[in-house]
Amino acid sequence: MKIYGAGSLEDIERCSKLGAVGILTNPQGFEQYFEGKSSLEEITRAIVDSTELPVFIQIHGESSRALVDKARSLHGISPRVGFKIVADEKGFQAIAELRKQGIHCIATTLFSVAQAAVAAAAGAFGICPFVSRGLYIGLNMFEILSTIRDGYDRLEDPPQIIAVSLKNLADVELALSAGVDAVGMRYPLLKQMMEHPLSRKAELLFARNWAGVKGEDVSYLRHALEMEGSAEDSVH
């Protein structure tokens, strides 16, 4: 179970510190976080400068040739730069050509087992199935992801299955339960993954014990302990 980070430059740095194995991007993030003030080359440089991880820049183009040319140009910024390319005919053709040149590419906006099979044949580094969008239109994403997992397990060097378009923890756990290699997300969702009400409750329980150990300061939990006590009193 691996994690790919995404989001603003600050989010990317946070994800990197928490052990993410790579950074994913898309045009929504480019527009949201760079506000139309930076070119794709400038955005790529800024992201590369913010992390030491592999960075997958989403690109577009009217033909496979245009995609390959754009990828080669941006790859010159750093050997850590790979690409996310839409899963369609021109995209798979570009992925196959870039693979020959040693450039890693991910087939994104992927919704079917058939697309996953073509991605593997083209030599994609990974695939990005869109979980929540698939669920929204009624696709059985657990079945699709599980079937892709079963098929890829029969290959010698399969693409990584990196589930994205994850709107909540239920989407994340569905993807992980289906056997994906990794999940990709912005930091706020990663933050949700780190927390659980029972973990917090256990920390507060231990705080009472730590308070009985000489020299241990639990003042940072005092407010939470008082709130918990008030909640228990209100129940009684």
Question: What's the pLDDT tens digit per position in 101-122?
Answer: 999 999 999 999 999 999 999 9
The domain over range 2-194 is classified in CATH as 3.20.20.70:
yes
DSSP single-letter state for residue 40: H
- More confident call, 204 vs 29: 29
At 212 the pLDDT is 86
| First CA to last CA distance, the chain | 43
Q: Answer whether residue 234 shows pLDDT above 80.
A: no
Residues 6 or more apart whose CB falls under 8 angstroms from that of 192 comprise 168, 169
Q: Are strands 22-24 and 81-86 parallel, antiparallel or unpaired?
A: unpaired
| Average pLDDT over the chain, rounded to an integer | 93
Q: Report, as an integer, the average pLDDT of 180-185.
A: 98
Q: Is the pTM of this model over 0.95?
A: no
CA distance 172 to 129: 12
pLDDT band (50, 70, 90) for residue 220:
confident
Statement: residue 231 has pLDDT above 50: no
Identify the pLDDT of residue 232.
Answer: 47
Give the pLDDT score at 226.
64
- In this prediction, residue 218 carries a pLDDT of 85
Mark residue 157 as left, alpha or beta (left: phi above 0; alpha: psi -120 to 50; beta: remaining). beta
Considering the chain, what percentage of its residues have pLDDT values greater than 90? 83
The mean per-residue pLDDT over the stretch 140-161 comes to 97
Is the per-residue pLDDT at 195 higher than 80?
A: yes
Extended strands (E) in the chain: 2-6, 22-24, 55-58, 81-86, 105-110, 126-129, 160-163, 182-186
What pLDDT sits at residue 126? 98
At residue 233, does pLDDT exceed 50?
no
How many whole angstroms from its chain centre is CA 62? Answer: 26
Domain with CATH 3.20.20.70 in the chain: 2-194
User: Looking at residue 208, what is its pLDDT?
Assistant: 82
CA nearest to 33, candidates 58, 6, 5, 8: 8
Average pLDDT of span 120-148: 97
Give the C-alpha separation, 142 to 178, whole Å.
6
Which pLDDT belongs to residue 229?
55
**147 pLDDT above the threshold of 50:** yes
